[in-house]
């Protein structure tokens, strides 16, 4: 509901220039949620996205009292906003998606794309936020359904953007 996704007074939306130590703390809080997930420390994210010569990535965050609740790493492509990576606590994902969608609308994006491989709960949160699954030609993995329900992979887990 829109009430559930209203920005609380103590939560701040920020666009950051660097991945700082708050990303390390978020990573430590979230890593145990998933059976398979690639590293999401500040150093790794900086290497993967800030130092990328091919794409200019931007960092969108939600913080509360200087603690990172969640982030989206994104870029523009052909009028769309493409989410390369995102991570948030389960209780912050809906708010992060809601606020990021507002940003995309302000930027007049034609679509928001999020190539990912995640657990069923994550897909339910995406659908609740208005996202829908689309078929594309990008085959990533063969998934053995019962064993892969807690996998979380995004473009952060690719070693290339091409």
Mean pLDDT confidence for 33-48 = 90
Residue 29: which pLDDT band, with cuts at 50, 70 and 90?
A: very high
CA distance 151 to 86: 14
pLDDT digits (tens, 9 = 90+) for 63-93: 999 899 999 999 999 999 999 999 998 889 9
Q: 12-21, 98-107, 149-158: which has the minimum mean pLDDT? A: 149-158
- Helix 120-128 and helix 93-106, axial crossing angle in degrees, nearest 10: 40
Residue 128: which pLDDT band, with cuts at 50, 70 and 90?
A: confident
CA distance 117 to 151: 7
The alpha helices in the chain, defined as continuous H runs, are 21-30, 42-45, 93-106, 120-128
Residue 148: which pLDDT band, with cuts at 50, 70 and 90?
A: low
Radius of gyration, alpha carbons of the chain? 15
Q: What per-residue confidence (pLDDT) applies to 126?
A: 86
């Amino acid at each position: 509901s829109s009430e559930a996704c209203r920005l609380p007074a103590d939560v701040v939306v920020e666009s950051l220039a660097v991945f700082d130590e708050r990303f390390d703390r978020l990573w430590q809080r979230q890593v145990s949620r998933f059976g398979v997930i690639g590293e999401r420390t500040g150093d790794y994210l900086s290497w993967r996205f800030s130092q990328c010569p091919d794409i200019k990535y931007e960092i969108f965050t939600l913080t509360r009292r200087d603690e990172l609740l969640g982030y989206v790493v994104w870029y523009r492509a052909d009028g769309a906003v493409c989410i390369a990576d995102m991570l948030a606590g389960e209780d912050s994902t809906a708010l992060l998606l809601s606020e990021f969608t507002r940003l995309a609308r302000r930027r007049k994006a034609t679509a928001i794309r999020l190539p990912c491989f995640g657990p069923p709960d994550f897909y339910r949160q995406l659908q609740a936020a208005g996202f829908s699954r689309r078929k594309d030609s990008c085959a990533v993995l063969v998934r053995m359904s019962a064993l892969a329900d807690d996998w979380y992979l995004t473009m952060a887990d690719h070693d290339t953007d091409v």
